[in-house]
Amino acid sequence: MKSLLFVCLGNICRSPLAEGIAKKIADERGLDIHIDSAGTGSWHVGESPCSDSIKVAKSHGVDISRQRARQVMKEDFERFELIIALDENNYNDLKRLGARSLVKLGSFGHDGEDVPDPYFFPGYEGFDKVYTMIESCLSVLFDENGQ
């Protein structure tokens, strides 16, 4: 893999976590991979990840505080080798937009299960569960691709 793009709805919770975790794994494995994230919606463009995503990432040694939300663009489908949707709705939206090389993150070790959006869960616990799920899916993704 040479480039990965993680996509969720607003690019402030799940996809920034996936970007940060993937960069950490790539660094630990000595891999040179371009990794980014985006959202299908435009509501949060230019914003930092939500405070709970920053907090849970930091508790695992990952700094996502400097990331800024952006909306996915059709050009991304040419620039990235693999587009990774965080849930079925994102997957379907990306497919309608013409994304190729598209997969769901949950298909790596979680039987296609959606990565739930912790933004809609009360409290911090949902963010910790989402972090753990993303991390385990990414480990499988990198392992399966010989990374």
Backbone φ, ψ for residue 38 (5° rounding): -160, 170
**Of 36, 52, 114, 117, which one is the catalytic site residue?**
117
Q: Any catalytic annotation for residue 117?
A: yes
Residue 15 in contact with residue 6, Cβ under 8 Å? yes
**Quick check: is 137 catalytic?**
no
Does 128 qualify as catalytic in the annotation?
A: no
Q: Which of 123, 122, 120, 125 is nearest to 87 (CA)?
A: 120
Closest of 24, 141, 147 to residue 84, by C-alpha: 141
Q: Is the CB of residue 128 less than 8 Å from the CB of residue 62?
A: no
Active-site position among 8, 13, 50, 137: 8
* Cβ neighbours around 55 below 10 Å, total: 14
Instruction: Give the dihedral sign, CA 59/26/69/15.
Output: negative
Give the active site residue among 13, 14, 50, 76.
14
Beta bridge partners of 39: 8, 71
Active-site residue set: 8, 14, 117
